[in-house]
Structure 1
């Protein structure tokens, strides 16, 4: 099994994306399609196999209506 590339903050980002995507009622494939990517791109982010950069985070957040500012506030209060 591969080791996660995520710190605690990275895990929080991945979990927030997955949680909000599900709350929005969207599948990984649906989010990926809007982004012009394949489903494994989203799966790898949510599973910890891939980090998400800021530009990708903003694009995904827009699709799933994730409040990035609130997420950043939560991240600031979490040691890395």
Structure 2
């Protein structure tokens, strides 16, 4: 059972961006997990919205994708727009 905060349209758009960014970087889930020092299931659960990233994990995730966390946050903010629903 998924909780409401992982099924909102805003969170769905944010996760879609994470998936697109990983794909654009030509990284598999395993590649990203290795960079994070986590099991592949960690990335899978984030991407299937079974698990939500906390703030510190978001920073590590962005860096593992080769991005500045502030830049990734700006990309997320632009994607979800001004009417964030959570």
1:39-63 deviation line (CA, Å, top 9, x unaligned): 0000000011111111111211122
Relative to the length of structure 2, the TM-score reads 0.77
Structure 1's unaligned 5+ residue stretches are: none
Deviation of 1:3 after TM superposition, in Å, equals 3.1
Report if the CA contact (8 A) 2:14-2:79 is conserved.
no
RMSD: 1.8
2:33 corresponds in structure 1 to 32
Relative to the length of structure 1, the TM-score reads 0.81
> Runs (4+) of structure 1 moved beyond 2 Å?
2-5, 72-76
Structure 2's unaligned 5+ residue stretches are: none
2:18 corresponds in structure 1 to 17
